[in-house]
Amino acid sequence: MITIDAAQASTSELIPNEITADAIAAFDIGDHIPFLLNRVNVATLGLFEDRLKEEGLVLGAWRILAVLFKAGPRRVREVLHLTGIEPPTLSRLLADLEKRQLVVRAQSDDDARGILVQPTAEGLALAERIAPHALHAEIELLRGFTVDERNFLRQLLKRMQTNLLSS
């Protein structure tokens, strides 16, 4: 369970939705949450980027394989949503993965307009080989965190994602 100490309790009001002159004057890039998230993302990627390169993958291709590894065959629209990859980039990455015979694209049986993306056995095996490296990166990232802190952080990040998707 996450507890809030007395110092935190006094700041438990909602963050204002407007930008004030005081907020601008106090702005510090080193404390700016998007900046911090980016730094953490870059550092975490660095922990398994070499493994991706060894396998000839870029991060986006890994995301696609990881989604298909967990979720199984998905329509392109679902892969877009689950990976957060922009449509033109996704199209290019899928073409590359298909060329390498890591995925297959086929007409959906449920919807003639839909395209189903299915991992091949080789694609699933590759995702399974890389998954431990991604998990290791997460372990390093969260070293010293409690299980509750990890779960709370995950909830907060998902809330941030929801905020951005709904704006």
**Could you report the per-residue pLDDT of 101-150, keeping only the tens digit for each?**
999 999 877 766 789 999 999 999 999 999 999 999 999 999 999 999 99
Name the residue among 105, 117, 131, 111 with its Cα closest to residue 51.
Answer: 131
CB 126 within 8 A of CB 87: no
Please identify every stretch of the chain with a pLDDT value under 50, giving residue numbers as ranges. 4, 6, 9
Token look-up 């086929």 returns 106
CB 85 within 8 A of CB 60: yes
What is the per-residue pLDDT for 159? 94
What is the per-residue pLDDT for 11? 65
> What radius of gyration, in Å, describes the C-alpha atoms of the chain?
20
Question: 165 by DSSP, 3-state: which?
Answer: helix
What is the per-residue pLDDT for 32? 94
pTM over 0.85: no
Helix or strand run (H / E) with residue 110? none
What is the per-residue pLDDT for 101? 98
What the chain holds in terms of domains, given with CATH numbers, is 57-129 (1.10.10.10)
Q: Which two tokens stand for residue 53?
A: 């390169």
